């Protein structure tokens, strides 16, 4: 009888341990930060779709500059990139509370910092380069980096990727593009700047 | 004076155990020791980077693996003849010795450990969800920058793993070496638990067969498991510990504990959810298990699993995450078929993977149903343990396109 009682008591300890573990997890998880959907950033990132004429392969909330003060949300869209596509362009857009925060965050996006953000993609660090035509935007940084390929793929020559950092008002945009002509890339930048200005103007009456 | 045969066999097992320790010291600890290779080996072939790309490096490692595997096989054979408690004590003691020998090696076989360290910091230092935010989201973190692979990919483990990893984070703080050793010690501890559970379960499931020591050797003396846990801190062993705990609860007839323990296994790594139908079918078919206790255990397990996981799922498109994870094709029968089809059919990788799944998944589902059907008519705990084993084999061989349980 005594043994039976002890057996029943012992039977409860895994369940009690499980509940205790879950309680610990809940305490931690209750206040875990996550990525929420930002429709402004998404609209900006999708804006060059007609210009690029590439299929959208991926579109999701993103973490770009998330720990910078005044960060409201970010979105990433991948255009193209499949074997059948003519190129690949990734647009990452982050929205900030005010222009000062956006300017401060954009200033952080130095070539060295960007290599820390996307080390898996970069064989060589981004190098500032000249762009054939002037690009619109409050601040613009044009760079190029050598694409890191999987070990099994041996390219005949280095594949250079254009990496453009752009700030327009309260929005910071990073354009990562390979295989797209520069003239077309200039149109993409124009589309992005136009989208930010239009969306900010549309927001203004509500504030 | 002549020793008893059982004592001779125990001495032989101890001798083989010592030889295995020597092989691990010379073949694994010496070339990969953290004092010789202190930095993160950021290479696609880290073992080759350390040992050299010449044939001597390959022979050196292969020789150690072959020797260790041979000694391991001999030890398993010798342990199968052991009866007394001395053998079990020896098995557990040497399990600890092997783990201690492999703790100070550079985790060259797994770059995941650095991701896991960064993920633990994501939860405990930044209070963010690692299922959403990858290490690259913290470019200013002193440890996130040391992650050599998958920096932009969020992890997909369960909350129980993050909870356990948090213990290491709390102790090791920002020290890379301390975090690496902590993760290795954590998984080595769970390997010891798994070894002890395997010994007890083998004795319980096959009473009179005296297979406890052999089961312990198969786990704790297994060079691969030691290399992957104490050496490389792969966290699968945590999931396995809870899964064996589930079987242990069944063998002890602790019906209420069965599904809560399985829930903890699933909340470590999700793949073991495939065992839930196996356990449920067997428990419901078994008359000795009270229905109320089984249903209560199931509800408690579901409650534990759901409440643990739901907070981590906020803002996570889990299906999308599983889809992305499921699209990796590597080191599996599916990968072999995928490669063969690539030579025959002009199609892209995703199309071929869909075709591979169309072939393998129905086979896996049919085999799963057969396992459940056979289990309905089985009544022993050994039968349910066997069914769990076969279900895991089916998942690995036919379900996944890469060996990542």
Nearest CA in chain B to A152: B44
Other CB atoms within a 10 A radius of the CB of residue B70 amount to: 14
Q: Helix count (H) and strand count (E) of chain A?
A: 6, 7
**The pLDDT of residue B61:** 93
**Which residue of A lies nearest to B142 if distances are taken between CA atoms?**
A116
List the helix and strand counts (H, then E) for chain B. 18, 0
Each of the 405 residues of chain B gets a pLDDT tens digit; together they read: 555 666 688 999 999 999 999 999 999 999 999 999 999 998 888 899 999 988 999 999 999 999 999 999 999 999 998 778 899 999 999 999 999 999 999 999 888 999 999 999 999 999 999 999 999 999 999 998 899 988 988 988 888 999 899 999 999 999 999 999 999 999 999 999 999 999 999 999 888 888 999 999 999 999 999 999 999 999 999 999 999 999 999 998 889 899 999 999 999 999 999 999 999 999 988 877 888 999 999 999 998 888 888 878 776 777 777 777 777 888 888 888 888 888 887 777 888 888 999 999 999 999 999 999 999 888 788 899 999 999 999 999 998 888 654
**In this complex, do B127 and A15 lie within 8 Å of one another by their Cβ atoms?**
no
Polymer length of chain A: 207
Q: How far is CA A142 from CA A100, A174, A185, B106, in A?
A: 21, 10, 11, 40
Identify the closest residue of chain A to B260 by CA–CA distance: A15
| Residues in chain A closer than 8 A to B316 (CB atoms) | 34
Which of A11, A32, A119 lies nearest to residue B311, judging by beta carbons? A32
How far apart CA B343 and CA A105 sit, in angstroms, is 48
In 10 A of CB B196, how many CB atoms?
Answer: 20
Two tokens at B339?
Answer: 């490669």
Mean of pLDDT over chain A: 86
Closest in B133, B140, B255 to A63, CB measured: B133
Is A30 in CB contact (< 8 Å) with chain B?
yes
Are the Cβ atoms of B255 and A116 closer than 8 angstroms? Answer: no
> According to the model, what pLDDT value does residue B222 have?
98
Supply φ then ψ for residue A167, to 5 degrees: -120, 130
Q: Is B127 within 8 Å of A30 when comparing Cβ atoms? A: no
Q: Taking CB atoms and an 8 Å limit, are B152 and A118 in contact across chains? A: yes
Give the start-to-end residue ranges of the domains of chain B.
Answer: 1-234, 279-399
> Which chain A residues are Cβ-neighbours of B124 within 8 angstroms?
28
User: Which pLDDT belongs to residue B325?
Assistant: 76
Distances (CA, A) of B341 to A60, B60, B334, B395: 32, 35, 10, 21
**Could you read off the pLDDT of A86-143 as tens digits, one per residue?**
899 999 999 999 999 999 999 999 999 999 899 888 888 899 999 988 999 999 999 9
How close is the nearest chain B Cα to the Cα of A116, in Å?
6
Q: Measuring CA to CA, which residue among B237, B273, B219, B264 is closest to residue B110? A: B237
In this structure, how many other beta carbons lie within 10 angstroms of the beta carbon of residue B214?
Answer: 22
A34 vs B308: CB contact, 8 Å cut-off? no
The ipTM, to two decimals, is: 0.84
How many Å apart are CA B247 and CA B251, to the nearest integer?
6
Cβ(B202)–Cβ(B236) under 8 Å? no
Helices (H), B209-332: 212-220, 223-226, 236-251, 255-266, 275-285, 291-313, 318-326
Query: What DSSP assignment string belongs to B189-221?
Result: HHHHHHHHHHHHHHHHHSTTS--HHHHHHHHHT
DSSP state of B26: I
Integer Cα distance of B316 and A189 in angstroms: 30
**pLDDT digits 0-9 by tens, B193-238:** 999 999 999 999 888 888 999 999 999 999 999 999 999 999 999 9
Rounded CA separation A129/A16 (Å)? 62
Is A5 an interface residue toward B (CB < 8 Å)? no
Six token digits for residue B238: 């945590």
| Separation in Å, CA of B151 to nearest CA in chain A | 7
Residue-wise pLDDT for B136-164, tens only, equals 999 999 998 899 988 988 988 888 999 89
Q: Residue A27 pLDDT > 80, yes or no?
A: no
How many residues belong to chain B? 405
Task: Give Cα separations from B105 to B24, B182, B185, B351 (angstroms).
Answer: 11, 13, 12, 41
> Looking at residues A71-85, what average pLDDT do you find?
92
The CATH class that applies to domain A39-206 reads alpha beta
- From A134's Cα to the closest Cα of chain B, the distance in A is 30
The phi, psi pair for A141, rounded to 5°, reads -130, 120
CA-nearest residue of chain A to B303?
A19
Q: State the smallest CA–CA distance between residue A133 and chain B in angstroms.
A: 32
Distance CA B383, CA B390 (A): 11
* Partner-chain contact A32 B139, CB within 8 Å: no
Task: Give the residues across from A163 on adjacent strands.
Answer: A143, A176
* The pLDDT of residue A154 is above 70: no
Chain B residues with beta carbon closer than 8 angstroms to that of A65: none
* Nearest-by-CA chain B residue for A68: B138
Rounded Cα distance between B290 and B283, Å, is: 9
Inspect the interface and report whether the beta carbons of B256 and A11 lie closer than 8 Å: yes
Closest residue of A to B149, CA-based? Answer: A120
- pLDDT score, position A158: 74
Query: Dihedral of CA B59/B60/B61/B65: which sign?
Result: positive
- Chain A residues close to B139, C-beta within 8 Å: 113, 116-117
CA nearest A86: which of A63, A118, A52, A116? Answer: A52
Please give the Cα distance from A171 to B209 (Å, whole number): 71
Q: Do A36 and B315 touch (CB under 8 A)?
A: yes
**Helix, strand, or coil here: A204?**
helix
Put simply, whether A110 touches B (Cβ < 8 Å) is no
Tokens 């999701």 belong to residue: A60
Q: In this complex, which of A33, A67, A120 lies closest to B152 when CB atoms are compared? A: A120
What are phi and psi for residue A36, nearest 5 degrees? -100, 160
Name every residue whose Cβ is closer than 8 Å to that of residue B71 and which is 6 or more positions away in sequence: B16, B19, B20, B23
Pairing mode of beta strands A139-146, A71-80: unpaired
Which residue has tokens 């996130």?
Answer: B144
Neighboring chain A residues of B136 at a CB cutoff of 8 Å? 63, 116-119
For residue A93, give the H/E element and its range: strand A88-96
Which chain A positions have a beta carbon within 8 Å of B44's beta carbon? 151
Helix (H, G, I), strand (E, B) or coil at A119: coil
Look at residue B7 in the predicted model and tell me its pLDDT: 65
Residue A206 buriedness (CB in 10 A; 0-12 / 13-18 / 19+)? exposed
pLDDT of residue B228: 96
Chain A residues within 8 A of B264 when measuring between CB atoms? 18, 21
Q: How confident is the model over B84-127, as pLDDT tens digits?
A: 889 999 999 999 999 999 999 999 988 899 999 999 999 999 99
DSSP letters of A140-185?
A: EEEEEEEBP--TT---SSPPEEEEEEEEETTEEEEEEEESS-HHHH
Q: Is the pLDDT of residue A13 over 70?
A: no
Chain A contacts of B140, Cβ < 8 Å?
Answer: 67
Angle (CA) B273-B147-A67 rounded to 5° is 90
Q: How many CB atoms lie within 10 A of CB B59?
A: 11
Higher pLDDT, A31 or B380: B380
* CA–CA distance, B283 with B285 (Å, rounded to integer): 5
Contact A118 B136 (CB under 8 A): yes
Per-residue pLDDT averaged across A186-199, rounded?
95
Do B151 and A119 lie within an 8 Å CB cutoff? yes
How far CA A94 is from CA of A42, A84, A145, A165, B321, in Å, comes to 9, 29, 22, 11, 22
Confidence at residue A14, expressed as pLDDT on a 0 to 100 scale: 63
Is the per-residue pLDDT at A53 higher than 70? yes
> Which residue of A14, A82, A117 is in closest CB contact with B249?
A14
A67 neighbourhood in chain B, CB within 8 Å: 137-138, 140
């Amino acid at each position: 009888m005594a043994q039976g009682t002890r057996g029943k008591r012992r039977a409860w300890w895994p369940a009690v341990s499980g509940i205790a573990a879950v309680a610990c997890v809940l305490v931690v998880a209750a206040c875990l930060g996550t990525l929420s959907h930002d429709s402004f950033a998404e609209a900006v990132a999708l804006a060059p779709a007609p210009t690029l004429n590439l299929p959208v392969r991926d579109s999701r909330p993103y973490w770009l500059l998330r720990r910078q003060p005044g960060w409201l949300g970010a979105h990433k869209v991948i255009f193209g990139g499949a074997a059948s596509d003519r190129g690949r362009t990734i647009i990452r857009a982050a929205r900030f509370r005010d222009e000062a925060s956006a300017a401060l965050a954009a200033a952080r996006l130095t070539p060295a910092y960007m290599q820390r953000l996307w080390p898996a993609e970069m064989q060589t660090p981004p190098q500032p380069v000249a762009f054939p035509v002037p690009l619109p935007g409050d601040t613009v940084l044009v760079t190029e980096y050598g694409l890191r390929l999987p070990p099994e793929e041996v390219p005949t020559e280095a594949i250079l990727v254009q990496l453009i950092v752009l700030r327009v008002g309260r929005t910071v945009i990073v354009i990562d593009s390979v295989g797209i002509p520069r003239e077309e890339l200039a149109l993409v930048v124009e589309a992005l700047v136009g989208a930010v200005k239009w969306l900010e103007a549309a927001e203004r009456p509500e504030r | 004076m002549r020793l008893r045969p059982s004592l001779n066999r125990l001495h032989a097992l101890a001798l083989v155990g010592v030889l295995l320790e020597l092989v691990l010291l010379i073949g694994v600890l010496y070339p990969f020791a953290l004092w010789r290779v202190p930095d993160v080996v950021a290479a696609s072939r880290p073992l080759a980077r350390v040992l050299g790309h010449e044939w001597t490096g390959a022979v050196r490692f292969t020789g150690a693996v072959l020797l260790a595997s041979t000694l391991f096989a001999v030890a398993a054979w010798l342990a199968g003849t052991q009866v007394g408690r001395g053998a079990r004590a020896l098995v557990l003691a040497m399990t600890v010795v092997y783990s201690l020998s492999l703790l100070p090696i550079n985790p060259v076989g797994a770059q995941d450990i650095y991701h896991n360290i960064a993920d633990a910091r994501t939860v405990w230092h930044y209070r963010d969800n690692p299922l959403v935010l990858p290490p690259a989201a913290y470019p200013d973190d002193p440890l996130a920058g040391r992650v050599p692979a998958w920096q932009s990919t969020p992890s997909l483990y369960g909350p129980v793993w993050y909870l356990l990893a948090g213990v290491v984070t709390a102790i090791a703080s920002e020290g890379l070496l301390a975090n690496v050793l902590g993760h290795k010690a954590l998984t080595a501890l769970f390997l010891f638990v798994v070894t002890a559970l395997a010994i007890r379960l083998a004795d319980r499931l096959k009473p009179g067969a005296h297979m406890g020591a052999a089961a312990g050797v198969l786990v704790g003396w297994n060079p691969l498991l030691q290399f992957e846990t104490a050496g490389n801190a792969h966290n699968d062993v945590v999931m396995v510990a809870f899964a064996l705990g589930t079987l242990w609860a069944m063998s002890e007839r602790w019906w209420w504990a069965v599904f809560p323990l399985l829930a903890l296994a699933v909340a470590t790594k999700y793949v073991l959810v495939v065992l839930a139908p196996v356990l449920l079918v067997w428990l419901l078919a078994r008359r000795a298990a009270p229905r109320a206790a089984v249903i209560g255990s199931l509800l408690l397990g579901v409650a534990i699993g759901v409440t643990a996981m739901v907070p981590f799922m906020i803002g996570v498109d889990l299906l999308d995450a599983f889809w992305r994870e499921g699209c990796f094709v590597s080191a599996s029968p599916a990968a072999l078929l995928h490669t063969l089809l690539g030579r025959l059919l002009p199609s892209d990788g995703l199309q071929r993977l869909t075709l591979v799944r169309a072939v393998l998944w129905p086979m896996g589902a049919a085999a799963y149903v057969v396992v459940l059907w056979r289990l309905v008519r089985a009544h022993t705990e050994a039968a349910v343990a066997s069914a769990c084993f076969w279900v895991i084999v089916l998942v690995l061989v036919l379900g996944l396109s890469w060996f990542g349980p």
